[in-house]
Structure 1
Amino acid sequence: MSDPVTFALTVLALLLGAAVLTALFSGAKALTSVAHVPLVIACGLSALLAIFLVSKVAGADTPQFVSAPVTWFAAGKFAANFTIAVDPLSAMMLAMITFIATFIAVFSSGYMRGEHGEPDAGYVRYFAVMSLFVFCMCGLVLANNFLLLVGFWEGVGLCSYLLVGYYYDKPSAAAAARKAFLVTRLGDTGFLLGIMLLWKLGGWHTDLTALFDHIAKNPPPTEQITAACLLLFCGAVGKSAQFPLYVWLPDAMEGPTPVSALIHAATMVTAGVYLVARCAPLFALAPDAQAVVAWAGGITALLAAFIALAQTDLKRVLAYSTVSQLGFMFLALGTLGAVSPVFAVVAAMFHLFTHAFFKALLFLASGSVMHAMGNVIDMRRFGGLRTVMPTTHLTFLCGAAALAGLPLLSGFWSKDLVLESLQFGAHSGHPHAGSFYLLMLVAMLTAGLTAFYTFRAYFLTFWGPTVVPEEAGHHAHESPSVMTVPLIVLAAGALFVGIVAEPFTHWFSGFVGRTPSIGLAAKLAGAAEVAHHFNWGIAGVSTLLAVGGVALAYMAYGAGGPERVPVPLAGVFALSRNKLYVDEVYEGAFVKPAEWLAVMARVFDLLLDSVSRVIAAVPRLVGVAVRPIQNGLVQFYALSMALGLAVFLSFVVFRAGR
């Protein structure tokens, strides 16, 4: 079992086994209360195996291990293989996913119970789908074949649909699930077209390692590889909720809060970022595609940060924050050809890594608040909870400080690495280097807004006089230890994982930077290698922005109580609270025309159906008219023939006589 591939396959087997075993619990009511156990055990063992796998890959001379191909399906000369690849990038993702999933599973075992500890009606279904989701996400990061990757990609989409719509009898939850599924399908259409184009450009290979090698040796025309990269990026835009397809993620907060922590903060929504990082050799050959990635990330980061400013739903503030931070990751990936691809990918993946800890923490802490407040999550209806829920308060504060980028915390180090990549890009010889100056200003402004809206939510929730909604029964209290212990563990990660992994040890960059595909991208891009040295100038500016945002939030909301918006900012806050009316614009520009088109198609279908029925009725009526002469008597048929012959001969004789 020393082979890294065996470790990875064991992880997949454990998670799939947990999903199947949990599903079997649905037939036994006595086992309902322990339906979370398979997921917790499978995730815990998988996390241990994944961490050991990281150490094995780190110590290997050649840090890539590919499984022997097993034919999945074949048609003629084409064959799709089931192959997985273990390298530093996939090993890091595997460890992060399983570690965080373990504590979210533990938290869920307490969250998905009622006030008296009784399991929710869908308790078994919830943990079965969660197990299947973690399995699909791990399969996605390990897949070494585009078609296999698509299979797991759609698997996480299906699980997201089922979990967002977990409360399916609630109209808003059902609508949110449909919206998430349909919007991400738009991006997936481009993703599939991109894979087909790459299949042609890559010598008919679908295995990633073979495809990358073929394209490296036989670079296709720039416009074709650019088109392929942009089509792949469509899938990333949908899955990672980037502009213009970001609108599904805030509505997805209708699902249980641990779902938001796992799927919509730490795993599924980062799949698009991982896809671009994994396909770095392709994007290295397409400077225009890199620029599109950077601008999509910059626009999304600023747009989502602005919308988060005035939201009153605590979970939606965090949802828009997730969209914004994903934009930060794409900003770094967009500099792939301007700086060393190793630096750009490391910057993006390091922010993905730290973000998983503090954003999962913030979502779980908001779930703890929601659990104590009788499922109320509107910040206008509660406040001053720091004395009522001290553990939740302190852990939320740790996550908020990390998200805001306050010095020495995890978010501080990873955010500065992204800003540093933009600075290097602005001073490079990249065709779009000039745009990186503007994008760096966008990133700086986004960082300031992030600190403000994060601490606005913190102060509204935990400061001021204690206010508890009536749904909580006026006896709100701290969540049980099964929920607070995961908060404490993730809070430790939000505080220390950044400083341990990168700024002084450079362990993260040294490990992930050894990924062979990233090294190939560096060779193809021809960009000079850029070493990371802590930039005090960028750190100073980002610190001022973070501290300034926190200070403004404290001055406006530190006293607690109802929100008071200054008159000059009323219009700005109205735009933010109404999400810049983007949903309304989409409704008028796309949804309503599509509905009218569907109505017209239905009318046309009914009309066409009616015409076809009329046409079909004509021979039926003729048949009814002539049916009486078909009586089955042979002598009658002979008489009819004789009479017919007589009439015919009479007609001939008559014509001849004339």
Structure 2
Amino acid sequence: MNLLFLTCLFPLLGWLVLAFSRGRFSENTSAVIGVGSVGLSALVAAWIIWQFNVNPPEGGVFTQVLWQWMSVDGFAPSFTLYLDGLSLTMLGVVTGVGFLIHLFASWYMRGEEGYSRFFAYTNLFIASMLFLVLGDNLLFLYFGWEGVGLCSYLLIGFYFKHVPNGNAALKAFIVTRIGDVFMAIGLFILFMHLGTLNIQELLVLAPQKYVAGDTWLWVATLMLLGGAVGKSAQLPLQTWLADAMAGPTPVSALIHAATMVTAGVYLIARTHGLFLLTPEILELVGIVGAATLVLAGFAALVQTDIKRILAYSTMSQIGYMFLALGVGAWSAAIFHLMTHAFFKALLFLASGSVINACHHEQNIFKMGGLWKKLPLAYASFIVGGAALAALPLVTAGFYSKDEILWEAFASGHQALLYAGLAGAFLTSIYTFRLIFIAFHGEAKTEAHAGHGLAHGLPLVTLLVLSTFVGALITPPLAGVLPESVGHAGGEAKHSLEIASGAIAIAGILLAALLFLGKRNLVGAIASSAPGRFLSAWWFAAWGFDWLYDRLFVKPYLLICRLLGRDPIDRSIGVIPRLARGGHHAMSRTETGNLRWYAASIVGGTVLLLATLMIF
């Protein structure tokens, strides 16, 4: 386990080499460096995971001090890597799924301008995410937190020559920065009261310093939640995620599956001891997750862009994880984080295969009949979609989502349980709506299937992990996170499993009824007055962008215009205007006429003598 630092070092070296190559490397060389660096990181991570399970460290924790960061008046954080069951799980997800996405990207991005620049960004993205999940203190975690924010801006705006892409990147950067400011305030409060940002020390000191419900701790955890909802695209800071689809498809897979949006879930799970002391904030976490998963589900029902549908599904699935955290189902949240990484990476990479095959067409209504032409992509969507819809017994998503629903029921949060069941029903409908429209029916475009190891291997690997095989991987969280209240099962759990499975199947059948064939029924519903209104409202994601534009953007621009005509600014502007006027006036005296210069000298002398005589 002493090799832990290499998991971060390899992607960093890949970033450095590619960043300073200035695009001089060939595509093959860039792919070898970009994919190879993450591949080496994944190999080291696999070795560490094996060692951790075969010969676990004392106390189930391994720390590796890299170097002292700073020492200011008793505050001396270091770059220290902290490995326990939780960070080990995240290490496997980030490097393993990240490597498969990089391998696929080496095929997908061929011929694109900025090929080496793309891998430089993604290597830095992986390194930043590893800092985030392996940091032993909140300042080191925050360093990685800001790193993934920077990389998301660079990757979302990768096609920067198109103005909408740059706007989408800027939107993601600004919205997530709002959450980051909240998080920074939370860190300031914790350090002010506890004198440390070491996570394990915080979890020990907080119960000693604070009583349950303490106001300062309440504010600190609320600020941490603000950071989490920004990074994980939960209400009310969720508006950036759908627009982030402007980036290349492998970027979408990287953001949604292996990095970034899971960071908020990890943050709350890592600092669970603080949230347990503020039960109101913990309950708010569950409410935010439940509201997000339902609202995102309705928004996904009417989208036409294949990637935006998957984006809203990510928002909804992260909502399930927040719901799990809110009811104290810590292990279930991380388990769903892992299985979601498998099937969401599969779906995004498969969508990239479809988009590439259809000549970069992303509107599902302009596809159709692709199941024969793209058999691997179709199989990937069937398996990944079934896992997303939590089809019973055969998919990884069923086991993790069912665990969340059971914990919500066992903890007595009935409203959150019903929200989870409603979200499951919506998920089945919009997922198979996408599949039935894009892959069945009349063919509307020519499609050419992708080939090659870099294309097929990631899809096949993730396809297998999205089945029940992926659910057999159990995160080693015992002793790291508290036991859930609903750990035991019984007849009630089996009944809930049957009910949730029936709901998933019912959603698929309803999607088949509505979207297979001529779709006359759904067309009639959509053309009605209520249908048009709801379709427009949901298509605009419940109008949050419109609302924020009027609440924040337009008032800000108005203030800028008012301050642009500020009289104080205008009065201060007199000084440079006088200086320029004096310069122009004096410049006109440079005539080159000797008589004028002599007269000026005499006149100046007379004026000086007269002044001396008077004063």
Q: TM-score scaled to structure 2, two decimals?
A: 0.91
Deviation at 1:498, TM superposition (A): 4.0
C-alpha distance in 2 between matches for 1:498 and 1:82:
33
Which of 454, 458, 461 aligns to 2:438? It is 461
Does the CA-based 8 Å contact 1:294-1:331 persist in structure 2?
yes
Cα distance in structure 1, aligned partners of 2:456 and 2:61: 38
From 31, 39, 47, the counterpart of 2:34: 39
**Pairing partner for 2:160 from 150, 168, 176:** 168
Q: Cα distance, 1:269 vs. partner?
A: 0.4
Please give the residue correspondences for 1:145-544 in structure 2 after superposition, counting only pairs within 5 Å.
145-202=137-194, 204-219=195-210, 222-336=214-328, 344-408=329-393, 409-426=395-412, 436-468=413-445, 474=446, 476-501=448-473, 507-508=474-475, 511-515=476-480, 518-519=481-482, 530-531=487-488, 535-544=493-502
- Does the C-alpha gap of structure 1 residues 639 and 263 become closer, same or farther in structure 2, counting only changes over 3 Å? closer
The separation in 1 between residues aligned to 2:504 and 2:336, in whole angstroms, is 16
Aligned-residue RMSD, C-alpha: 2.7
Deviation, 1:42, is: 2.0
Match of 1:7 among 3, 10, 24: 3
Q: Work out whether residues 297 and 326 of structure 1, in 8 Å CA contact, stay in contact via their aligned partners in 2.
A: yes
How many angstroms apart in 1 are the aligned matches of 2:418 and 2:232?
23
SS in 2 for 1:161: helix
Q: How many residues align?
A: 595
- Tell me if structure 1 keeps the 8 A contact 2:67–2:79: yes
Aligned amino acid, residue 119 of structure 2? F
Q: 2: CA distance between counterparts of 1:369 and 1:560?
A: 23
**Structure 1 residue 77: Cα displacement:** 2.5
Q: Which residue of 2 aligns with 1:564?
A: 523
**Residues 380-405 of structure 1: per-residue CA shift (max 9 Å, x gap):** 11101001101110111100000000
> Where does residue 594 of structure 2 map in the other structure?
none
Q: Write out aligned runs for 1:570-581 (5 A).
A: 570-581=532-543
SS at match of 1:512: coil
Name the SS of the counterpart of 1:79 in structure 2: coil
Higher Cα radius of gyration? 1
> What does residue range 70-149 of structure 1 map to in structure 2 within 5 Å?
70-113=67-110, 119-149=111-141
SS at match of 2:466: helix
Label 1:577 to 1:479 Cα distance change in 2 as closer, same or farther (>3 A).
farther
- TM-score, normalised with respect to structure 1: 0.85
SS in 2 for 1:74: coil
Cα distance, 1:529 vs structure 2: 8.1
> Which consecutive unaligned segments of at least 5 residues does structure 1 have?
114-118, 337-343, 427-435, 469-473, 502-506, 646-658
Cα offset for 1:620? 10
**Matched AA of 2:458:** P
Match of 1:21 in 2: 17
Partner Cα distance (2:565, 2:96) in 1:
53
CA distance in 1 between partners of 2:515 and 2:581 (Å)? 81
Residue type of the alignment partner of 2:478: G
How far apart, CA to CA, are the structure 1 residues paired with 2:471 and 2:144? 33
Unaligned runs of 5+ in 2: 590-596
Which SS does the other structure have where 2:185 is aligned?
Answer: helix
Contact 1:103–1:486 (Cα < 8 Å) also in 2: yes
| Cα distance in 2, alignment partners of residues 10 and 174 from structure 1 | 34
Measured in 2, the distance between the counterparts of 1:464 and 1:374 equals 19
CA deviation vs aligned residue, 1:256-305 (integer Å, no higher than 9, x gap)? 00000011233210000000000001111110110110111111010000
8 Å Cα contact 2:104-2:454 kept in structure 1:
yes
Question: Aligned pair in 2 of structure 1 residues 55, 533: CA closer, same or farther (>3 Å)?
Answer: farther
Higher deviation after alignment, 232-241 or 6-15:
6-15
Distance 2:372 2:113 in 1: 32
Q: Tell me what 2:592 maps to.
A: none
Instruction: Give the fraction of aligned pairs with identical amino acids, expressed as a percent.
Output: 37
- Deviation (angstroms), 1:225: 1.1
Compared CA separation, residues 556 and 642, structure 1 to 2 (3 A): closer
The answer on whether the counterparts of 1:57 and 1:64 sit within 8 Å (CA) in structure 2 is no
**Are 1:57 and 2:52 an aligned pair?**
yes
State the shift of 1:52 in Å. 2.4
Confirm or deny that 1:643 pairs with 2:613: yes
